[in-house]
Structures are given as structure tokens and as C-alpha cells.
């Protein structure tokens, strides 16, 4: 039987919020017309992001690495597990994938190394590192091609696959448990509730942790830092974008399924996960401005034509942001270091994203 209709009108806030978005001048957006202006802008915007994300509240600490065992996969990849401390009492578990036949930097002979960061609905590092020992992880790998860390290792790269806060072994208590809906999901909602009232944000925590993992990799002294790469899809793309924007030690990166204008994709599509939202960010910057901070390092942006997260204008909402990034690369005469890979279909990682940056090995090594 049909429910009796009780609501004749819905009085929503969206239209006014869009007007407020449009009224913002975004005075910190990318407008530089020379490398010198870019350098000044980059410093100012990085300070701004440190402030907005609450990273000034983060507490430096010793990494205190702990080994947690290793196994050999059927493809001959050594999958080591370890954890480091990223803030006092906050631990980041991580897989390290070491191929038998490692690709090396031709000059320093150190292993070419990538970070592969997890997005939502993949059980954190498990799917990225190709741990196919649960049916729900296998399903996530097949749906989103989530095992991009493992795929890179199969090509000879050394790959770090960390859990980000709220996922995998780092779920808050709300999602402890082995059931699929708990195991695959993350607790960004709970983290953001704790964080924002303390002046912090989820993305601030995530990109802080990635930089601590880069500290750890650098301190080992055995990995190639000259071409250190970072890749990620969806929420992993978000982490890659912010980490590369804030940390110059990331020399090349792939951001898949995460480049679009905030108005359509995060204001109008306001059901997105809490980890996307940073208080006051829309007043200062759009996503392409954050991407512009990566110039002139190598970057691949991968977008799928039917990805619903692009918003109702589809790729138009993507091109506008990529164009902002292109202007930054043009200042350096390095437009060839920004590659926009368009794929068909919906929200999904496609391995073609890797081709433009992996092909550069021979030029740089």
C-alpha cells in the first residue's frame, strides 16, 4: 500500500550554498604568470593548506618500525608487513611488495619505488596489495581493478601499500568486525567527527601519515628517492593529490578518479565521504589549484567518462580543473609532464594510467 503523502514541499539549502560558493573570490587560486610568482604562491598555499587541514596540530614522533612477517606470493613477490608510528600512539600498518627481479634506477642502482594508496570499499591496503584471500577483497579488486600496487610489483617496482587512517587495520571501533560491510568500509565519518571539532581534518591526517611513510622510506637509504612515485584511485587519488601537492619528495604520481571542480562534485554531490571536506577550503581554492602545486613533477590524471563523481556536467567539470594544472606546467615548459588519460565507463582504475610515467624511466634513470 502506498504511504500517505505528508510532505508537499522540500525547502533545501543547496541553491543558497551554491550562491555562496559563487560569491567566494577564491583569492588563493592559481594565477601565477612566471616561475617566480608560482614559487611564492606555492609557499603561501602550502602554508594555507597546513592551516586549513589542521596539520599544525599534528605531533611529530619516532617511526618505531616493527616487522610483522612476510610471505611469498605465487608470482614470486615477497610481501612483507610492517608498521610505523605516525603520531604518538597512532600506527600505520603497511605491506612492502618486493619483486624478485627488481627494476633499478640506472644511475644509483636503487630500486624504483612507489607508494600505492587505498581508496574506499577495498579493505584498505588488502586490495591494493593484491591479498586475494577473502571473497569480498577479490570482488573489490575485480570491480575497481583495486590491486594496482600488486600490478606495479609484477612489473618489477618496489611498492609500499599502507593502510590509511580509518581503513583496514586502522578502522575505528564502529566498524570492527569481519563482516563484509565492516571489513571493506572505512570510518572517515567517525574520524571527521573527532577531528573537526579539534581543528583537524581527515585529509590532514592522511597526507600527514603519507609524508611520515616517505620519511621512513627516505631514512632507510636503500630506495630510489629520485623518482619516488605515488599512485591511487578514488580516495587513494585524493590522498595522492594532497600528498604530492604538499610534499616535493613525491616525484611522479597518478591520480585516478579524483580530479573535478568542487562546486559540482562536492557541493552539489554532497553525499560524498567526510574525508573530502575541509572547513573553509571552498573559499580559497578549487581542486585544480591544489593539483597545480604538483607542477612541474610528472603527473597522470585519469578520468572515466561516465564517472558519476565528475558531477552532472561530466568531463567538462574535469577539464576545467586540469586546465588550471596545465597553466602551471606551461610556466615550466613541461606540459609533457602532465598527462590526462580519459577512459570509458564509470568509477574505476585502469592500468593505462601508469604508462605515461613508467615510460619516463629510461629518460630519467
Ranges within 95-114 binding Zn ion (CB under 5 A): none
Restricting to residues 178-217, name those near Zn ion by CB under 5 A. Answer: 188
The b/e string for 239-258 (b: 16+ C-beta within 10 A; e otherwise) is bbbbbbbbbeebbbbbbbbb
Q: Least distance from C-beta 60 to Zn ion, angstroms? A: 25
Nearest CB to Zn ion, comparing residues 57 and 272: 272
Q: Which is nearer to Zn ion, 38 or 277 (CB)?
A: 277
Q: What is the signed CA dihedral for 47, 293, 310, 153, rounded to 10 degrees?
A: -110
Q: How far is the CB of 151 from Zn ion (least distance, A)?
A: 23
116 touching Zn ion, by CB under 5 A: no
Site string for Zn ion, 49-88 (x = CB under 5 A): ----------------------------------------
Other beta carbons within 10 Å of 109: 9
With DSSP H G I counted as helix, E B as strand and the rest as coil, what are the percentages for the chain, rounded to 5? Answer: 45, 15, 40
Of 154 and 269, nearer to Zn ion (C-beta) is 269
Q: Of 114, 296, 124, give the one whose Cα is nearest residue 213.
A: 114
CB-nearer residue toward Zn ion: 189 or 332: 189
Cα→Cα distances 113→42, 96, 118, 125, Å: 26, 10, 17, 17
Tell me, by CB under 5 A, how many residues bind Zn ion.
3
State which residue, 275 or 354, has the beta carbon closest to Zn ion.
275
Minimum CB separation of residue 273 from Zn ion in Å reads 3
Residue with cell 588550471: 324
Question: Cell triple for residue 105?
Answer: 634506477
Give the nearest distance from C-beta 360 to Zn ion in angstroms.
Answer: 31
Residues 204, 246 contacting (CB under 8 angstroms):
no
Nearer CB in complex with Zn ion: 228/275: 275
Rule CB under 5 A: which of 262-291 touch Zn ion?
A: 273, 275
Site residues (vs Zn ion, CB under 5 A): 188, 273, 275
Amino acid at each position: 500500500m502506498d504511504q500517505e503523502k505528508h510532505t508537499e514541499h522540500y525547502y533545501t539549502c543547496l541553491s543558497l550554498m551554491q550562491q555562496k560558493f559563487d560569491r567566494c573570490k577564491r583569492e588563493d587560486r592559481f594565477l601565477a604568470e612566471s616561475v617566480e610568482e608560482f614559487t611564492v604562491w606555492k609557499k603561501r598555499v602550502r602554508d594555507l593548506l597546513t592551516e586549513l587541514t589542521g596539520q599544525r596540530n599534528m605531533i611529530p614522533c619516532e617511526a618505531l618500525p616493527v616487522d610483522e612477517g612476510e610471505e611469498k606470493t605465487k608470482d614470486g613477490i615477497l610481501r612483507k608487513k610492517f608498521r610505523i608510528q605516525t603520531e604518538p600512539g597512532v600506527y600505520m600498518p603497511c605491506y612492502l611488495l618486493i619483486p624478485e627481479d627488481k627494476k633499478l634506477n640506472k644511475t644509483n642502482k636503487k630500486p624504483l619505488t612507489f607508494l600505492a594508496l587505498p581508496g574506499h570499499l577495498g579493505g584498505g591496503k588488502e586490495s591494493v596489495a593484491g591479498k586475494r584471500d577473502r571473497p569480498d577483497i577479490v570482488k573489490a579488486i575485480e570491480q575497481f581493478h583495486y590491486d594496482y600496487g600488486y600490478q606495479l610489483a609484477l612489473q618489477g617496482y618496489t611498492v609500499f601499500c599502507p593502510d590509511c587512517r580509518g581503513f583496514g587495520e586502522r578502522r575505528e571501533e564502529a566498524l570492527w568486525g569481519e563482516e563484509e560491510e565492516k571489513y571493506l568500509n572505512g570510518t572517515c565519518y567517525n574520524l571527521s567527527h573527532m577531528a573537526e571539532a579539534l581543528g583537524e581534518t581527515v585529509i590532514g591526517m592522511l597526507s600527514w601519515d603519507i609524508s611520515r611513510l616517505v620519511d621512513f622510506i627516505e631514512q632507510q637509504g636503500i630506495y630510489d628517492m629520485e623518482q619516488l612515485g605515488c599512485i591511487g584511485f578514488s580516495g587513494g587519488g585524493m590522498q595522492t593529490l594532497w600528498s604530492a601537492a604538499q610534499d616535493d619528495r613525491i616525484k611522479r604520481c597518478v591520480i585516478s578518479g579524483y580530479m573535478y571542480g568542487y562546486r559540482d562534485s562536492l557541493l552539489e554531490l554532497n553525499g560524498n565521504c567526510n574525508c573530502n571536506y575541509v572547513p573553509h577550503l571552498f573559499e580559497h581554492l578549487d581542486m585544480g589549484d591544489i593539483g597545480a602545486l604538483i607542477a612541474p613533477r610528472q603527473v597522470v590524471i585519469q578520468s572515466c567518462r561516465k564517472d558519476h563523481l565528475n558531477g552532472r556536467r561530466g568531463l567538462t567539470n574535469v577539464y576545467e580543473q586540469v586546465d588550471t594544472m596545465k597553466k602551471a606546467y606551461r610556466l615550466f615548459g613541461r606540459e609533457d609532464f602532465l598527462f590526462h588519460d580519459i577512459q570509458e565507463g564509470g568509477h574505476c582504475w585502469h592500468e593505462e594510467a601508469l604508462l605515461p610515467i613508467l615510460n619516463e624511466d629510461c629518460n630519467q634513470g
